[in-house]
Structure 1
Amino acid sequence: MNELHVEGLTKSYGASEPVLRGLELAVPAGALAAVLGPSGCGKTTMLRIVAGFLHADAGTVRLGDRLLSGPGVHLPPERRRIGIVPQEGALFPHLSVARNVAFGLTGADRAERRRVTEEMLELVGLAGYGDRMPHELSGGQQQRIALARALAPRPQLVLLDEPFNALDSALRAGLRADVRAALHATGATAVLVTHDQQEALSTADLVAVVRDGRVAQCDTPQHLYGRPADPWVAGFVGDAVLLPGTVEGKGTALTALGAVPLATPPNGTRTGTVLLRPEQLRLTATDSEGAARGTVTDICYYGHDAMVTVTVDGHDTPVGIRVAGPLSVRPGQETGIRVVGEAGLHP
């Protein structure tokens, strides 16, 4: 099998503070995991250690039943059976597309190299492009060829280092879907390093959020967004509405937006931070029963929806409300706010 296990990974550069502080990550065989985090959190350092480009100070890296890195062990990159897709493709400019794809097929005869190359080009949607040169391709096409080159030797693991950064937003979404489909078609385990929350949530089977050299939470995209481990993770993965709350009874918390039902029992906690998402808030008439009151202070329109910022009576921090469809409010207007669904509570 080709599951990836990273345990206790630690790394410092010189006398500086550790970049990795016992990082743990497990990726099931055939899954695509996104490693998400702010700049400087250690995600690229982890990727380079897994690839074999850096030595870890401590910890182990296992791929299936093989130890790649550990005490007294450091398998060189070329022996790890790992494919790498760098940020900007990094194709060999003097080689044709076909020769780029076939570059890692050492030991295969000419017929096999040709068969695999054609198979990989078809897989990434560029069949018939083998005779072209890299400079004749668009940025998105170059990234597809880089993926084909990484997949051609049938690696156990594919590492993608922010491969969509240089592309415009309209091209990214389609390419992400194609990359995901190609990876699943080959059955390779994959790790995507990114700082783009939307990219991680929409592409990966698992998302690991890294903070200060450790994995703060690793979960499915749906569970990570819906049940973040703490307010920091909630704010990093999407927009969050954070409110002080006091537990009332067994299943509700009293907040500036009124009584809010809780998703899980409070386990003895009486006060804490109540977490909601902007799409859980609704604008209503100011005289609606049970609605909180506030004043619209700003509107950011995105086309498919808008983010309406409201200052809530009795609460110092404005809250964001995601509104779909036509807007019925304007800055300076009073409005009612109602909560839909359940909230999380963090001590």
Structure 2
Amino acid sequence: MNDTNELHIEGLTKSYGAGEPVLRELGLTVPAGALTAVLGPSGCGKTTLLRIVAGFLRADAGTVRLGDRLLSGPGVHLPPERRRIGIVPQEGALFPHLTVARNVAFGLTGTDRAERRRRTEEMLELVGLAGYGDRMPHELSGGQQQRVALARALAPKPQLVLLDEPFNALDSALRTGVRSDVRAALCATGATAVLVTHDQQEALSTADLVAVVRDGQVAQCASPQDLYRRPADPWIAEFVGDAVLLPATVDSYGTARTALGPVPLATPPGGPSAGTVLLRPEQLRLTDTDSEGTVRGTVTDICYYGHDAMVTVTVEGHDTPVGIRVAGPLPVSQGEETGIRVVGEGSLHRGGGLRG
């Protein structure tokens, strides 16, 4: 993969007026050819970060490099049109008076007509819209418009593609398919890409890396699996998925004693300790109340989703009800007593982060 397409951000700081900084010395590296999701709650600085990388905003401090080119830094602010960055905005933002083909070819300046036509047809085929060149944007579905927007962004062969919450306007039935199509197209071109989103499922299912932004800084950047299984702290654990957090004491054998019974730790602390153990709802099983190795609880709520259900259970000795993800037929009813058993290992949080 070409390292000239690696995005490297260091010490990025940005404030609006006299207010608190939106970005606080943020650092992030996006490897060449990777799709990295920037995930965070509203107001955390995601959009500000994207606009600075694109060149629409000036940073107060810090640097943005794309390969060996300095895009933004002390005394340097390359304008957007010189950055070789493609942008896929929310809702496509196609030119309504231009055909699909002319939308895609819009950024292909400086090339002859035959090359523009060839590149346009190549991009439309890549996004699954071969033969749609003569249509107008209003004749397309929302998902098709987003694929045209991606084709337009990829046509000039940019070093980097920025996707600004591009699936927000799509209904849930379309979203999964369009996400898959977009990822396949990016992989086919080898493009480096940054996807800005507040949707945890979207980030985990689409990206190679996920950078969680909190209060203007990257709190953790990891693969989706590592982020879900080994979050850096309880806030991240709860933000990227459903979490069961249990106060615990750890014995000299590395086993955590919790309200749900003993829990082995993926990375024991090396001696007696105390903290908070993280489990995921799919690590809990409903069992008979008299089964060995279980604790008892009472079912207080059931949320049924079809493919699975979230069963909420109150447990004596634990103030917060725990969520248990159940696949298949429901073995319990609301108000019923049940047993709970832990499967697998937990992660221990002791102030600075989660171990394991």
TM-score, with structure 2 as normaliser:
0.97
SS in 2 for 1:208: strand
**278, 300, 323: which is aligned to 1:275?**
278
Q: Where in structure 1 are there 5+ consecutive unaligned residues?
A: none
Q: Considering only aligned residues, what root-mean-square deviation do their CA atoms show, in Å?
A: 0.7
Alignment partner, residue 236 of structure 1: 239
Is contact 1:85–1:158 with CA below 8 Å preserved after alignment?
yes
Q: CA deviation at 1:285?
A: 0.6
Partner of 2:227: 224
For 2:90, the equivalent position in structure 1 comes to 87
What is aligned with 1:64?
67
1:69 counterpart letter in structure 2: S
* 1:123-202 paired onto structure 2 within 5 Å: 123-202=126-205
| Correspondence for 1:5 | 8
Cα separation, 2, equivalents of 1:293 and 1:214: 41
Cα distance in 2 between the residues matched to 1:237 and 1:316: 22
- Determine the C-alpha separation between the residues in 2 that align with 1:205 and 1:179: 13
Structure 2 residue matching 1:83: 3-state secondary structure:
strand
Say whether the 8 Å CA contact 2:52–2:58 is kept in structure 1: yes
User: What is the identity, as a one-letter code, of the residue corresponding to 1:344?
Assistant: S
For residues 333 and 193 of structure 1, the distance between their equivalents in structure 2, rounded to whole angstroms, comes to 43
Query: Which residue of structure 2 aligns with residue 250 of structure 1?
Result: 253
Normalized against structure 1, the TM-score is what?
0.99
Structure 2 distance, partners of 1:77, 1:157, is 12
Rounded Cα–Cα distance in structure 2 between residues aligned with 1:137 and 1:258: 56
CA–CA separation in structure 2 for the residues paired with 1:314 and 1:268: 24
CA offset digits 1:63-112 (Å, max 9, x no partner): 01100000110000000000000001000011110000000000000000
1:97-116 paired onto structure 2 within 5 Å: 97-116=100-119
Q: Of residues 14, 19, 34 in structure 1, which corresponds to 2:17?
A: 14
Q: CA deviation at 1:267?
A: 4.7
Give distance in 2, aligned partners of 1:325 and 1:290.
Answer: 23
**Matched position secondary structure for 2:26:** strand
Out of 130-139 and 264-273, give the one that drifted further.
264-273
What is the alpha-carbon distance in structure 1 between the residues aligned to residue 242 and residue 331 of structure 2?
A: 22
Matched residue type, 2:268:
P
Q: Counterparts of 1:335 and 1:55 in 2: how far apart (Å)?
A: 57
Matched, 1:306 2:309: yes
TM-superposed deviation, 1:313: 1.4
Q: Is 1:262 the counterpart of 2:268 in the alignment? A: no
State the partner residue of 1:27.
30
After superposition, give the CA deviation of every residue in 1:277-328 in whole Å (9 maximum; x if it has no partner). Answer: 0000000011111211100000000000000000011111100000001001
